[in-house]
Amino acid sequence: MPLVLASSSPRRRDLLARLGCVPDRIVSPAIDETPRRAEPPRVYALRLAVEKARAVDRAADEAVIAGDTTIALGRQILPPAETEAVQRDLLTRLSGRRHHALSAVCVIAADGTERTRLSDTIVAFRPLSPAEIDAYIACGEGLGKAGGYAIQGRAEAFVRFIHGSHSGVIGLPLTETRALLRAAGLPLA
């Protein structure tokens, strides 16, 4: 059964490869990712994963997988770091605190059945000095990322504690993703 990855993220493609799964097509869905008024972070992440999967045109024999990773500080959804100023604010707010990396996955099977899973990983950053934040921003790896950091890169040195799915923080929780793909009938080892 052909698989469509509804994401332009190279990290999601690489994480799928860890499961021995190579998408037959990759499509970047265009959806409005604005949080709704008073929308809880968990609901937001799941909604985006479903909307991304539904936004992709698929043939009758294709399955679609989409994901969303949302960083939440309490009930507040943190935006992606679209500018260095936003990234500095995000990292300052995350410094010395715990936050949730919510990674939602939606798989639409060839028969149209939608299945979702959500991984909730607690990540605690050690306190970061302004110089450390400036140096991290200068390296460029966290720009455009949820929460302003990439845990698979230099920001891993900021983490003093993680409870949950490391791959979920990167962008696709592998345990949950494997279960969804198998339930959709994709042959995985």
β-sheet bridge partners, residue 76: 73
Residue 172 lies in a domain: yes
Inform me whether the pLDDT recorded for 132 exceeds 80.
Answer: yes
Domain holding 151, by residue range, is 3-183
Rounded to an integer, what distance in angstroms lies between the CA atom of residue 188 and that of residue 59?
A: 21
**Residue 55 reports pLDDT greater than 70:** yes
pTM: 0.93
Cβ atoms of 99 and 72 closer than 8 Å: yes
Q: How confident is the model at residue 189 (pLDDT cuts 50, 70, 90)?
A: low
CA 108, CA 62: separation in Å to the nearest integer? 9
In a domain, 32, yes or no: yes
In-domain check, residue 188: no
Evaluate whether residue 165 is within a structural domain.
yes
Specify if 53 maps to a domain.
Answer: yes
Q: Write the pLDDT tens digit of every residue in 59-72.
A: 999 999 999 999 99
**Structural domains in the chain (count):** 1
Q: Among this protein's residues, is 61 annotated catalytic?
A: no
- Given a cut of 90, is residue 9 above it in pLDDT? no
Confidence of residue 8 (pLDDT cuts 50, 70, 90): confident
What CATH number is attached to the domain comprising 67? 3.90.950.10
One of 14, 32, 57, 68 is an active-site residue; which one?
Answer: 68
Mean pLDDT, the chain, rounded, equals 95
The position carrying tokens 């409005």 is 32
- 157-173 per-position pLDDT tens digit: 999 999 999 999 999 99
In a domain, 51, yes or no: yes
pLDDT recorded at residue 124: 98
Question: With bands split at pLDDT 50, 70 and 90, how would you rate the model's confidence at 185?
Answer: very high
pLDDT tens-digit map of 18-54: 999 999 999 999 999 999 999 999 999 999 999 999 9
Asked if residue 9 belongs to a domain, the reply is yes
Q: Could you tell me where the DSSP H helices lie in the chain?
A: 10-18, 41-54, 84-94, 130-139, 166-170, 174-183
Asked if the structure places residue 189 within a domain, the reply is no
